[in-house]
Amino acid sequence: MDSLLNAADTALRTLFATPRASQSCPTLPDAVTELSDPDKRKAAGLMRVNHVGEVCAQALYTAQALTTPNKALRDHFTKACIEETDHLAWTAQRLEALGSRPSILNPLWYAGAFGLGLLAGRMGDAWSLGFVVETERQVGAHLQSHLSLLPEGDHESRAIVAQMRSDELRHADDAAAAGATELPQPVKELMRAAAKVMTTVAERI
Tens of pLDDT, residue by residue over 73-120, are 888 888 888 888 889 999 999 999 999 999 988 998 888 888 888 888
Residue 1 has pLDDT above 60, yes or no: no
Quote the pLDDT of residue 191.
84
Percent of the chain with pLDDT over 70: 89
Tens of pLDDT, residue by residue over 116-153, are 888 888 888 888 889 889 988 998 998 999 998 999 88
The CB-side HSE value for 4 (13 A sphere, CA atoms) comes to 1
Residue 37 has pLDDT above 80, yes or no: yes
CA distances for 91 relative to 26, 52, 87, 164, 201, angstroms? 11, 9, 6, 10, 17
How far apart are alpha carbons 86 and 163 in whole angstroms?
11
CA 21 to chain centre: 14
